[in-house]
Amino acid sequence: FFFTREELKILTNFSELKFKKKFAEENSLKEKNEKKPAKKLFPNSYLFKQWTVELSEDDQRKAEDLFQKYGYNAFLSDQLPLDRELLDTRDHRCIGREYPHNLPTLSVVLIYLDEALSVIQRAICSIINRTPAHLLKEIILVDDHSTNGLFLSKNPIQPSSQRHIQKGLSQARISGWKAATGDVVAILDAHIEVHVKWAEPLLARIQADRTLVLSPVFDRVNYYDLQVTKYLASAHGFDWSLWCRYVGFPQKWYDQKDPSQPGKSPSVMGILVVDRLFFGEIGTLDGGMEVYGGENVELGIRVWLCGGSIEIVPCSKIAHIERAHKPYMPDFSNVMKRNALRVAEVWMDEYKINVNIAWGLPIQNHGIDIGDVSERKKLRDRLKCKPFKWYLENVYPELNPMHLLGYGVLINDLQTRLCLDKGPFEENTPILYPCHFMESQIFYYTASGEIFAHLPLKNNRNRCLIDPGSGRFPELSWCSDTEKQKHMYWDFKQGQAMQNRETKRCLEISADQTGKYEKNVFLQDCRNQHWKIQNIIQDL
């Protein structure tokens, strides 16, 4: 949808007056009818565990229904002012900073999927009120295949252009970019509110260097009470499964002792601001990505390899609702896996096997259809992009390409239906459990002899399988701790015993008197028991 500034003001004012009248009437009725506290209908709800307010039973049902629908407290959102004030969470050095008047113009693209109307309106209000009028060229709303039709049904203004509907976040963002006409495009989620002077730091950086892809710093809006929690600036990274995570900036950023300065980042979480024409030159987003996940990591790698760079801009702050659950599907790990493999095939060269490893897939013939990547490979050739090895060495050395010999589930030949399992985290004791081949049963055997519980980034804490030196049971303990003696190195060959190098004890299983195998695994004198690991990278 395209709206003029005047139309957007009419829309937001109309809805705010309507909601104020509605809730004034309801609150008046409640005061007359409610004489005692209502029964708590949803004591186990994620919403009401956090949001402790007195509501009538009818309002509890409404609030819970809206929470299940949107993943945040839409009931409360409908009662809040659309132009509410936000606490200024910027570093004090940002507050008085001045920017040129003649900055590039800005198109703001808001992507929404089954979003509460008041949340979208609050995003629009904040953008209008906190962006200089001469810089804000347009706001474009992109419907990422919503199912509720809420925005159209309650919209008193007819949009002046066609409705954009695309299935999948990459396609929705591309659609918004294509519709934009400003010098710079900010592609945002619709469940946000921008802080004061959010746009100027971003536009000034792009005016200085058009090859930058930028991200503001997100503050968290609690899904339950919609209060804003300040977040400090961090770089955006990912692990080998391509799940996003916050990571540290390069050391020279900290050496400046000025947290208001932009910092280089290996990737971008998803919200991004970019020169509109440069975004097209570098290939926008991969339209072959499905639904959600991985498209931002693909962009981050490509920008760095193909002539641009990514920065986080701390003086630009955006408040972002962190949903309790996402609207795409109950479990999108399968599409995330597929998208990650697609990224690896195009951009990661010989390091792409690490993505297979992270997802517990075989190195060859993983059997997952990643779609046609020929055009993306042609794009890489046309842009004369650097190899992924350069990215690992110069941009993201924390992404540790570990030297692994094997990975996957560990099975003892005596009972092939049971797998070694990490067990309850708080107990730190591995167990035997029926094989399900999910994350809790995936282990990684390194060339140096460690058995890791997870595939780590460099310098991150990880748990290792150890022999504590006494007692019968192995432990999963922090590999880097030095408080007590560790025996964390194992000799293991496929189909043979798993023996600790220092204690010479073996990891084994045993049956009870009925012949059923116990859930415990033991450390004892070796009795020629044999283990196999699911995937072999090189001969063990």
For the chain, the 3-state helix, strand and coil shares in percent, each to the nearest 5, are: 30, 20, 45
Q: What is the pLDDT of residue 154?
A: 43
Percentage, residues of the chain above pLDDT 70? 86
User: Hey, what amino acid is at 334?
Assistant: N
| Tokens (6 digits) for 284 | 């926008």
- Bridge partners (DSSP) of residue 141 are 110
- The H helix count followed by the E strand count for the chain is 16, 24
- Of 114, 121, 178, the C-alpha closest to 145 is 114
Q: What is the pLDDT of residue 155?
A: 44
Give residue-wise pLDDT tens across range 111-139. 998 899 999 999 999 999 999 999 999 99
- Bridge partners (DSSP) of residue 236 are 246, 267
Residue 10 has pLDDT above 90, yes or no: no
Distance CA 198, CA 376 (A): 33
pTM of the predicted protein model: 0.84
- Of 200, 196, 165, the C-alpha closest to 186 is 200
From residue 442, alpha-carbon distances to 81, 125, 411, 422, 452 in Å are 48, 47, 11, 8, 9
| φ/ψ of residue 478, rounded to 5 | -60, 125
Residue 9 has pLDDT above 70, yes or no: no
Q: What is the pLDDT of residue 249?
A: 96
User: Hey, what amino acid is at 126?
Assistant: S
Give residue-wise pLDDT tens across range 350-360. 999 999 988 88
Q: What is the pLDDT of residue 146?
A: 78
Q: What is the pLDDT of residue 153?
A: 41
Give residue-wise pLDDT tens across range 270-308. 899 999 999 999 999 999 998 878 899 999 999 999 999
| Tokens (6 digits) for 305 | 């390899």
Quick one: average pLDDT of 99-120? 95
Q: What is the pLDDT of residue 517?
A: 86
Which helix (H) or strand (E) element contains residue 49? helix 46-50
Question: Is 222 exposed, middle or buried, given 0-12, 13-18 or 19+ CB atoms closer than 10 A?
Answer: middle
The CATH number of domain 404-536, selected from 1.10.10.10, 2.80.10.50, 3.10.400.10, 3.90.180.10 = 2.80.10.50
Class of domain 333-394: mainly alpha
Between residues 537 and 209, which one has the greater pLDDT? 209
Q: What is the pLDDT of residue 432?
A: 95
What radius of gyration do the chain's Cα atoms show?
A: 27
Average pLDDT, whole number, for the chain? 88
Contact 491, 445 (CB under 8 A): no
295-305 vs 333-347: helix crossing angle, rounded to 10? 20
Quick one: average pLDDT of 411-429? 92
| φ/ψ of residue 28, rounded to 5 | -65, -40
Between residues 127 and 363, which one has the greater pLDDT? 127
With a CB cutoff of 8 Å and minimum separation 6, the contacts of 455 are 239, 240, 241, 354, 357, 358, 402, 407, 444
Give residue-wise pLDDT tens across range 144-180. 777 765 554 444 333 333 454 546 789 999 999 999 9
| Tokens (6 digits) for 82 | 């659309």
Distance CA 417, CA 421 (A): 12
| Domain segments of the chain as ranges | 92-321, 333-394, 404-536
| Residue that has been written with the tokens 């692990």 in this structure | 239
Mean pLDDT lowest for which of 72-81, 151-160, 325-334, 489-498? 151-160
Give residue-wise pLDDT tens across range 199-222. 999 999 999 999 999 999 999 999
Q: What is the pLDDT of residue 282?
A: 97
Q: What is the pLDDT of residue 91?
A: 96
- Bridge partners (DSSP) of residue 313 are 216
- Of 202, 264, 198, 206, the C-alpha closest to 235 is 264
From residue 413, alpha-carbon distances to 3, 104, 398 in Å are 67, 66, 37
Distance CA 34, CA 22 (A): 18
Q: What is the pLDDT of residue 402?
A: 76
Q: What is the pLDDT of residue 362?
A: 87
Q: What is the pLDDT of residue 161?
A: 38
The CATH number of domain 92-321, selected from 2.30.40.10, 3.40.50.140, 3.20.20.210, 3.90.550.10 = 3.90.550.10
Between residues 462 and 381, which one has the greater pLDDT? 381
Contact 441, 420 (CB under 8 A): yes
Residue 330 has pLDDT above 60, yes or no: no
- Bridge partners (DSSP) of residue 312 are 215, 263
Q: Which of 17-21, 160-164, 319-323 has maximum average pLDDT? A: 319-323
Give residue-wise pLDDT tens across range 390-403. 999 999 999 988 78
